[in-house]
A and B are shown apart, each in its own frame.
Chain A
Amino acid sequence: MSAVFEFSDEQREFRDMVRRFLETHSTETSVREWMDDDGGYDPAVWKDMAGQLGLQGLIVPEAHGGQGFGPVELAIVLEEMGHFLFGSPFLASAVLAVNALVEAGDEKAASDVLPAIASGEQIATLALCEAEGSWDPTSVTLSAKGGNGAFRLSGEKRYVLSGHVADVVLVAGRSEAGVSLFLVRGDAPGLERSPVPALDMTRKLATLRFDDVEATLVGEEGGAAASLSRALDRTTIALAAEQVGATQRCLDMAVEYAKDRFQFGRPIGAFQAIKHKCADMLLELESARSAAYYASFAAADAASGDDLEEITALTKGYCSEAFLQVAAENIQIHGGIGFTWEHAAHLYYRRAKSTDLLFGDAAHQRGRLAGRIGL
């Protein structure tokens, strides 16, 4: 049985270290700069993060140049990144792409690509979603023709995280044998990458068009649907922790403001309408946090007997709604100033909806969950 909810002293210290790094480097000013930048991040900070903390290789196996940590450490990092709205290709490269590669179980591809991802020298991503917006790997249609490991891809991928800056793109395509995973270089001939104006400006997205692009097979041909599902679940659990960190920040902002802002001769936090909103936000936050922590401990402990798909669906569904509600109430509590461009509230509101939509929204997750609780 996993030691659920018990963080070790090392893990607590690790959290402090990550937080200190982000406090210095992910200020609101820098978040806004990255927001206005096409790439969405600062290469110097990215490099420092690799050099000082090695976070890009956090969950990369040691054999491939990483630190070989697991879902709990990853959740710690993402909770802190969510809190500070850290803008970078971290989710795309160090989480999603690494999970996809590791789950694919292809040693050669792993040793070719993972070391450069782990060191932060290269950025990777996964291109999965297509025009109809499904994150279910079995729905992939992008065409893959060829054999003997060499394939050519044609079709379009949407909502690709950091897709326009990635050096390495993992692509889910459909060959004769079924859904398969491929590796494409970011600058491959025939690959056209266009950044899209994103709802969440702090997390960049691109559309990728493949016109007969050369690609290498990763893992077994036709066998990618299951490994991609596992990779998505692991990434989704990490994303839930990011949602929790951001939700905490929204509640902090709201409470701070409610103590400072005076109307009718008293702080607005003395009014029950505001106080009770804050209490409900606390309920959402703490429940979301329990779910995200539980999910990360469960993912770390394969022997726990937990059904990871069920826990992922529950956690993502819960955390998405909690974050959305708290982010929206944060704006309400701030009144007019909460609706301005200058205030950070909208950045979190945008992040809340975008993380809900990523990898399947709350309603979708509850649909998945329903299938696993006896319905």
Chain B
Amino acid sequence: MSDSVVSPDLDETVRGWLDENWDPGLSVEDWWQKVGRAGWAAPHFSPEEGGRGMPRNADARVRSIFAEHGALRPPGGLGLLMAAPTILRHGTEDQIDRHVTPILEGRTNWCQLFSEPGAGSDLAGLSTRAERDGDRWIITGQKVWSSMAHESDYGMLLARTDPDQPKHGGISWFAFALDQPGVTVRPLREMTGEIMFNEVFFDGAICEDRDLIGGMNNGWAVTQSTLFFERTGIGAGGGHAGFPKPGPKGGALGRLAGDAAGDEPEDRYRIVAFPHLIELARRTGRHEDPIVRDKLARLWSFIQTGAWNARRAKAEARHGGGGAIGSISKIAQTRIVKLSVEIAMDLIGAEGLVAEGEEARFVDAFLFAPASSIYGGTDEIQRNICAERILGLPREERADKGLTFAESTRRQQSMRGARA
């Protein structure tokens, strides 16, 4: 089954396509349209969905072949990782046409407007409101930790459409256009020193009814899909930011694809890939050290079993199984990230005291590593999911069981009051 694995044929096909099509003189917009229409933006989607019916991990391979070829890589970002597959699953034909195609062609950039100051792991505790006004919705509230919101055209917005239902019951999922009055995006500085995530405030912002995805008050079910795509995508090494940024706000669509291709080498961005570590071990003369060798071999085992897990999940899905493997992939990815930076910092030694120069990539990656077990649902929450949904262990006792959202908010306030 040549389509069930990332095979040498894939490399050939991609290279052949690039030989025929890559043209540095095209605008980024035109290039990405070509790429999207050929199915390379999401090779793991089915052909009807705009992909090529390949396994999940073909995506990363395709991107690296584009890079090797010197071509501008396919558009990336959270729209591709989460919004597109969610809308494909829950949206109407009209919604798919209006949103998925632009994502695949890099014409829109998306962010995820889920978390709020009062709703993190307990996402269903969100209080941003959407109130109906004819064929529009009026949005009021606040989101936080919204990665890339300052460069996004659309947001996957979760808002409460009925506070008198139990908290999971009164939520809806919107495709929300960020560029409008009533939306304030305020960048936050991360512990890395950089700005990636934001606070987003809604003060009477508008969303058209036709952009409510998956039905009113059905947002929790839709969100389960989004979160599934997020954790399995991250587990498969997806979630790449995409350079340059897709969409008008990224500002690159009018540039020459050839110029944009040279912009930002992937490997200088918070990622320690395995070959970097091998090269580093040799460069620092530590490749003979048995402890270093043991750690690197262990890391390689994690990486390789992760890739095999993904392939096995795909094969088993064809026989109606494989759920367990998808759920462990995000925790598995966390341990890969953390071990990678541990080894890298160990290898660079005292140079780790310095945050610029030749080894800065490793210091950056070290600083970014704690994020991997937080974003996309913390490791603790992922373990709860594995234990409860896969292994069938008893569910967590919930203090707000049976209460409507409004009641549970009041209860929370009175508990806080009693403590103060």
Interface residues of A (CB under 8 A from B): 1, 3-6, 251, 255, 258-259, 266-267, 269-270, 272, 274-276, 278-280, 282-283, 286-291, 293-294, 314, 317-318, 363, 366-367, 369-370, 373-375
Contact = CB atoms under 8 A, between A and B. Distances in A.
A299 to B, nearest CB: 14
B347 to A, nearest CB: 12
Contact of B293 (A4, A283, A375): A375
B308 A290 contact: yes
26 contacts: A1-B8, A4-B311, A4-B315, A255-B392, A267-B394, A272-B380, A272-B383, A272-B396, A275-B384, A275-B388, A276-B380, A278-B393, A279-B328, A279-B331, A279-B391, A282-B328, A282-B387, A283-B328, A286-B325, A287-B305, A290-B308, A314-B300, A370-B294, A370-B297, A373-B278, A375-B297
Given A267-B393, A270-B394, 19 more contacts: A1-B2, A1-B7, A272-B380, A275-B384, A278-B393, A282-B324, A282-B328, A282-B390, A283-B332, A289-B312, A290-B305, A290-B311, A290-B312, A290-B325, A314-B297, A317-B297, A367-B290, A370-B297, A373-B278
B387 A276 contact: yes
Contact of B386 (A3, A6, A266, A282): A282
Interface of B: 1-2, 4-5, 7-8, 275, 278, 281-282, 287, 290, 293-294, 296-298, 300-302, 304-306, 308-309, 311-312, 314-316, 324-325, 328, 331-332, 380, 382-384, 386-388, 390-397
- For the complex of A and B, list the 6 residue pairs with the smallest distance between their C-beta atoms, beginning with the closest: A366-B297, A5-B315, A279-B386, A279-B383, A275-B387, A370-B293
Contacts of A370: 293-294, 296-297
Contacts of A291: 301, 304-305, 308
B324 A290 contact: no
A282 B302 CA distance: 14
A280 B384 CA distance: 11
Contacts of A269: 387, 393-394
Contacts of A288: 305
B86 to A, nearest CB: 25
B5 A4 contact: yes
Nearest to B294: A366
Contacts of A1: 2, 5, 7-8
Contact of A259 (B5, B296, B315, B394): B394
A294 B308 contact: yes
B312 A259 contact: no
A374 B278 contact: yes
Contacts, number: 147
B1 A369 contact: no
B384 to A, nearest CB: 6
A366 B298 contact: yes
A373 B397 contact: no
Contact of B1 (A6, A266, A274, A373): A6
Nearest to B300: A373
A317 B295 CA distance: 12
A366 B2 contact: no
A283 B314 CA distance: 17
A278 B332 contact: no
Contacts of B305: 287-288, 290-291, 314, 318
A251 to B, nearest CB: 8
Contacts of B325: 286, 290
A287 B328 contact: yes
A318 B302 CA distance: 8
Nearest to B393: A269
Contacts of B281: 375
A80 to B, nearest CB: 18
Given A259-B392, A280-B383, A314-B301, A366 B328 contact: no
B300 A255 contact: no
Tell which of A3, A267, A287 has the most Cβ of chain B within 10 Å: A287
Contacts of B392: 255, 259
Contacts of A282: 324, 328, 386-387, 390-391
B301 A275 contact: no
A272 B387 CA distance: 9
A4 B313 CA distance: 11
A369 B301 contact: yes
Given A3-B4, A370-B297, A373-B296, A266 B331 contact: no
Contact of B294 (A290, A293, A363): A363
Contacts of A287: 302, 305-306, 308-309, 328, 332
A187 B298 CA distance: 44
A368 to B, nearest CB: 8
A294 B310 CA distance: 12
Nearest to A365: B297
Nearest to A289: B312
Contacts of A369: 297, 300-301
A3 B305 CA distance: 17
Contact of B304 (A3, A266, A314, A374): A314
A353 to B, nearest CB: 19
Of B305, B315, B384, B394, the most chain A CB neighbours within 10 A belong to: B305
A275 B396 CA distance: 10
A286 B391 CA distance: 13
A255 B324 CA distance: 15
B312 A293 contact: yes
A259 B300 CA distance: 35
Contact of B387 (A278, A290, A375): A278
Given A282-B386, A287-B305, A290-B312, A258 B393 contact: yes
B317 to A, nearest CB: 11
A289 B305 CA distance: 9
A307 to B, nearest CB: 12
B103 to A, nearest CB: 30
Contacts of A294: 308, 311-312
Given A283-B332, A317-B297, A367-B290, A275 B393 contact: yes
Nearest to A252: B391
A6 B394 contact: no
A325 to B, nearest CB: 13
